[in-house]
Amino acid sequence: GRSRSASRAASVFSLKSHLNDTVLPIAENELEQALLKETTLEEGTDGQKPKKTQKKEWRSKLSSLYNKDKTSVSQELQKPKTSDSKQKLHFEAQLKNMTVGEGRSVKLVCSCSGPSPSLKWYKNNIPLVWSKNVKNDSKLGVGAITIKIASESDSGVYKCVASNNFDEVETSCILTVYQISDDQYEIPKFTRNVREFYNGTVNDLILEVQVR
């Protein structure tokens, strides 16, 4: 009985290797049940030899299991994969270099297209610290920061990094804030007094003045 079971087990793996030269895993418990079925049939009942139809039963079961696994693997391979290009990110609008005078308001803006971009801002490669003066107005793929009152210390390289689970892109710019000396300010002067006239065409009263 033992020698026959070992012989049958060998033929099981031989059968697997000759089906389209492909070896696919079969669940251990299913294979064990098939072999147990074959061993029981081999020994027979009351010492009687099993019929020829019984000898083929375990082969039929094993072949069925193999074809089931082969079909599932084939279907898995045929599943369409999500195109990587559809997951990529792209900056439609890049950050631009800016030069402003001290005390002015500054807004840096960029726009990123692609699925679910997460935006992070850096100044000189260090994460930006938000405050009442420096605000993060980024949302829905549009990156924007506002510096309400710029100072020389705000000068530097600003970078926006957009990322999702598949891609990461960045854009950067240089912000230069220069100091304005007192002698650069000049009191405005009126070069012409206020003049008013009525425009009948648009039915408006117009005030006109010139300032230097």
Q: Is the pLDDT of residue 159 over 50?
A: yes
Average pLDDT over residues 87-92: 90
Write phi, then psi, for 135 (nearest 5 degrees): -115, 145
pLDDT number for residue 11: 45
pLDDT tens per residue, range 93-113: 999 999 999 999 999 999 999
Lowest mean pLDDT among 72-76, 88-92, 191-195: 72-76
Q: DSSP readout, 104-157?
A: --EEEEEEEESSS-EEEEEETTEEPPP-SSEEE--BTTEEEEEESS--GGG-EE
Task: Give the mean model confidence (pLDDT) for residues 28-33.
Answer: 58
Q: Is the pLDDT score of 16 beyond 50?
A: no
- Please check whether residues 92 and 163 belong to one and the same domain: yes
CA distance 100 to 146: 13
207 domain-assigned? no
pLDDT band per the 50, 70, 90 thresholds, residue 208: confident
Asked if 187 contacts 212 with a C-beta cutoff of 8 angstroms, the reply is no
- 136 domain-assigned: yes
Residues 62, 24: contact at Cβ < 8 Å? no
- Establish if 193 belongs to a structural domain: no
Structural domain range at position 170: 85-184
Q: Are 92 and 66 contained in the same domain?
A: no
Q: Are residues 180 and 151 in the same domain?
A: yes
Please determine, for residue 17, whether its predicted confidence score (pLDDT) is greater than 60: no
Q: What is the tally of structural domains in the chain?
A: 2
Give yes or no: residues 156 and 118 share one domain.
Answer: yes
Q: What is the CATH number of the domain that holds 165?
A: 2.60.40.10
Residues 196-205 have pLDDT tens digits of: 777 767 667 7
Is the predicted pLDDT of residue 5 greater than 70, yes or no? no
Q: Is residue 195 part of a domain?
A: no
Instruction: Please classify residue 166 by burial: count the beta carbons closer than 10 Å to its beta carbon, then call 0-12 exposed, 13-18 middle and 19+ buried.
Output: middle
By the 10 Å C-beta count (0-12 exposed, 13-18 middle, 19+ buried), 162 is classed as buried
Residues 6+ positions from 191 with CB-CB distance below 8 Å: 210, 211, 212
Domain co-membership, 90 together with 179: yes
